[in-house]
Amino acid sequence: MELFRLTIHELHELLKKGEATATEIVGSVFERIEAVEGKIQAYVTITKEEALARAAGVDAAIKKGKGIRPLTGIPLAIKDVICTLGVRTTCSSLILENHVPIYDATVIHKLREEGAIFLGKANMDEFAMGSSTENSAFMKTKNPWDLGRVPGGSSGGSAAAVAADMCAGSFGSDTGGSVRQPAALCGVVGLKPTYGRVSRYGLVAFASSLDQIGPITKDVTDCAILMNAVAGYDPMDSTSAMVTLPDFTRALLPDVKGLRLGIPAEYFIEGMDPEVEAAIWEAIRLLEHLGANTEKISLPHTDYAIATYYLVATAEASSNLARYDGVKYGYRTKRSMDMLEMYQRTRREGFGAEVKRRIMLGTYALSAGYYEAYYLKAQKVRTLIRHDFEEAFKHCDVIITPTSPTAAFRFGEKTEDPLTMYLSDIFTISVNLAGIPAISIPCGFTKGGLPIGLQILGKPFNEEAILRVAYTYEQNTEWHKRKPNL
Catalytic residue among 92, 132, 155, 178: 178
Catalytic residue among 28, 79, 110, 218: 79
Would you say 382 and 403 are in contact if contact means Cβ atoms under 8 Å apart? no
Catalytic residue among 28, 136, 154, 170: 154
Q: Is 154 a catalytic residue?
A: yes
Would you say 130 and 93 are in contact if contact means Cβ atoms under 8 Å apart? no
DSSP letters, 140-199, are -PPBTTBTTB---SSSHHHHHHHHTTSSSEEEEEESSSTTHHHHHHHTSEEEEPPTTTB-
CA distances in angstroms from 160 to 151, 258, 366, 432, listed in the order given:
6, 36, 36, 23
Rounded to the nearest angstrom, the gap between the alpha carbon of residue 164 and the centroid of all alpha carbons in its chain is 16
Helices 22-40, 48-63: inter-axial angle, 10-degree rounding? 160
CA distances in angstroms from 38 to 31, 114, 167, 320, listed in the order given:
12, 31, 15, 34
Distance CA 93, CA 96 (A): 6
Helices 220-230, 8-17: inter-axial angle, 10-degree rounding? 80
b/e burial code for range 3-14 (CB count within 10 A of at least 16 → b): bbebbbbbbbeb
452 φ, ψ (degrees, to nearest 5): -125, 140
Helices 106-113, 220-230: inter-axial angle, 10-degree rounding? 110
Neighbours of 133 (CB within 10 A): 33
Catalytically annotated residues: 79, 154, 178
